[in-house]
Structure 1
Amino acid sequence: MSEGASEARKAFGLRLRDLRRDAGLTGREFAEATGMHNTKISRIEHGRQYPSEDDIRAWCIACGVARRIDELIAIHREVEQMWKEYRRDLRKGQRHVQERSGPLYAETRLLRAYEAIVVPGILQTAGYVRAVLTINAELHDLPLDEVEGAVEARLTRQRLLTHGDGTNNYSFVIEASVLGNWFGGAAVMREQLDFLRDATRLPSVSIGIIPPGHRTMWGGECFYIFDDQMVRSEMWTGSFKTTQAADLAFFDRAFDRLRRQAVYGDAARALIESERKNLQTAENR
């Protein structure tokens, strides 16, 4: 289990412990009320054992908060689904991962995304996608001959952005350093930078670039907000997903603060052009 998954389980255990304490029950009294062994109760409260849904029902009833059963079971299920191991998820191939996300992107009316390392996936050109997914295949020991199918699957969703009817809207915030992280060589990056520049003029797309310099909000891991319904963020070994209102509110606030640091329009295109000149200079050396 990833560290993040472990922390999520610990947090849920602490929530259950607080319910018991708020009810004024000692560990022994609680064990008598629920029929659970003291050892099991301790393991659940310290995040070393994850409770079953029946455990949660018994817990709430014993604490006199039966009204919270549905709420806590919903959180319990989300914690179980929140973290997905990449190794397990990728067994079906990178193309499967890309195709599975297609309906989500098609149904989303407003996608907000923050990236600090790579160009957001839906904005990536074919060569850039190929370079990124090849790195991913090598890192996770996946078949390289499956990369091309994954490239095609990712590019399919790009039509929502370039040929959409205005139903789907996009707001991107990226760090200026993203422009200087070269994947796939000079020709690939030139094409990618040109596409980014052109995308800044698409009517349903907003692209903000955070220039280097003074910050009022630090950068961090990437995250994608799908409407006001779900947030997804990917790390090295797992994918975090949440639909909890408190989490959505947090990421909404973080995105707004990041967005206010970014520049748009001509200023954003100037940053792209500056990196294009850096690319040209590097090629001429």
Structure 2
Amino acid sequence: MPASPSPSAQAAREAVAHRLRDMRRTTGLTIAGLAAQCGWHHAKTSRIENARTAPTATDIRKWCTACGYEDQAERLIAKSLHAEEMYREWREQTREGMRRLQESAVAFFRETALFRVYSSTMVPGLLQTEGYAAALLSAIADFREIEVNDGPEAARARVERSHIIHESGRRFVFLLEEGALRYQLGETEAMAAQLGYLLAAGALPTVSMGIIPDGTRRRRMWPQETFHVYDDRLVSVELLSAEVTITQPSEVRLYLRAFEELRSMAVYGQDARALIVKAIDAL
């Protein structure tokens, strides 16, 4: 288990590892002694204690039993599972296809009042049309060699969950780098339809859409990976290989600060629409 790029995720893993180590030390067991009682090689004990290997639920139960802390096993299992959920590889999330991944976010979206989304490379999922989403998700499935390539079905599910932007009671703040308007996905007609939809979506009362022009001088914040901020409590960062979920308040505040810096460089209203029309004309 490599170290996570998110300090929050790594800290959560280390908290579990340190608690297991403290149990062993308090009990007086050596690394080899605990390994013998659990029935594994002593190197595994060391890897778990140093947060290099994530323990399974069975590992934790055996560990707690060996140390006489059976009553703490289930709580530690829950903490360990939470730590692993903070850094989730896409290949694990899409094992059953991408449509299920789209549908899994619906309940969480319903619990969120304020969405902040920044994207430097593509139109955000909540603003995607079916044709654009199908091209994108199919390309992702091909690149990641996902066995179940259900791009068109996933696209329909993505558009269905995106209907939430038409509902009252929620706010959506989108920031796009201008380049995201020009990276063509799918056929020209699909790209044109997508850009046309941005013109309409930007006029919705629940939506604020800013675009950071390519020619912005003296940038105070460089382009970032796509990230989403849900209310002020959770950040999701999309990496090439995985999704990182951040809940540590100090890290969330850092992303909020970055979002506001990026937001201050964007143009809105008529100026933003002019950039979209320019991208449509370039097709």
TM-score tier (shorter): 0.7 to 0.9
Stretch deviating more after TM superposition (140-149 or 109-118): 140-149
Distance in 2 of aligned mates of 1:211 and 1:89 = 34
Count of residue pairs brought into register by the alignment = 258
What do residues 231-258 of structure 1 show as CA deviations (whole Å, max 9, x unaligned)? 1112121111122212211111111111
AA aligned to 2:256 is D
Which residue of 1 is the match for residue 274 of structure 2? 270
Question: Closer, same or farther in 2 for the Cα pair 1:144/1:82, shift >3 Å?
Answer: closer
Secondary structure of the residue that 1:171 maps to in structure 2? Answer: strand
AA aligned to 2:191 is M
Matched, 1:4 2:8: no
Which residue of 1 is the match for residue 92 of structure 2? 88
What do residues 200-228 of structure 1 show as CA deviations (whole Å, max 9, x unaligned)? 11111001111113211011111111112
Question: Closer, same or farther in 2 for the Cα pair 1:13/1:137, shift >3 Å?
Answer: closer
Distance in 2 of aligned mates of 1:159 and 1:17 = 42
Question: Closer, same or farther in 2 for the Cα pair 1:142/1:207, shift >3 Å?
Answer: same
Moved over 4 A (4+): 5-19, 29-34, 38-46, 49-56, 72-77
1:235 to 223, 239, 253: 239
1:192 to 178, 185, 194: 194
Stretch deviating more after TM superposition (234-243 or 113-122): 234-243
1:181 to 173, 178, 183: 183
What do residues 83-139 of structure 1 show as CA deviations (whole Å, max 9, x unaligned)? 112222211111100111111122211110110111000100111001001101211
Distance in 2 of aligned mates of 1:87 and 1:199 = 31
Asked if the contact 1:234–1:240 (Cα under 8 Å) also holds between the matched residues in 2, the reply is yes
1:248 to 245, 252, 267: 252
Which residue of 1 is the match for residue 72 of structure 2? none
AA aligned to 2:4 is G
Question: Closer, same or farther in 2 for the Cα pair 1:255/1:36, shift >3 Å?
Answer: farther
2:145 to 141, 145, 150: 141
Which residue of 2 is the match for residue 111 of structure 1? 115
Question: Closer, same or farther in 2 for the Cα pair 1:261/1:54, shift >3 Å?
Answer: farther
Asked if the contact 1:211–1:263 (Cα under 8 Å) also holds between the matched residues in 2, the reply is yes
Asked if the contact 2:3–2:10 (Cα under 8 Å) also holds between the matched residues in 1, the reply is no
Asked if the contact 2:4–2:10 (Cα under 8 Å) also holds between the matched residues in 1, the reply is no
Matched, 1:201 2:203: yes
Distance in 1 of aligned mates of 2:102 and 2:23 = 47
* TM-score between the two structures when normalised by the length of structure 2: 0.77
Asked if the contact 1:169–1:204 (Cα under 8 Å) also holds between the matched residues in 2, the reply is yes
Stretch deviating more after TM superposition (249-258 or 124-133): 249-258
Q: CA RMSD in A?
A: 3.5
| Aligned pairs (5 A) from 1:61-80 | 78-80=82-84
For structure 2, list consecutive stretches of 5 or more residues without a partner in the other structure. 32-41, 65-74
| Aligned pairs (5 A) from 1:39-54 | 43=47, 46-50=50-54
AA aligned to 1:195 is Y
Asked if the contact 1:98–1:150 (Cα under 8 Å) also holds between the matched residues in 2, the reply is yes
AA aligned to 1:153 is A
Stretch deviating more after TM superposition (38-47 or 73-82): 38-47
Matched, 1:37 2:30: yes
1:75 Cα shift? Answer: 7.1
| Aligned pairs (5 A) from 1:149-228 | 149-161=153-165, 163-164=166-167, 166-212=168-214, 213-214=216-217, 215-228=219-232
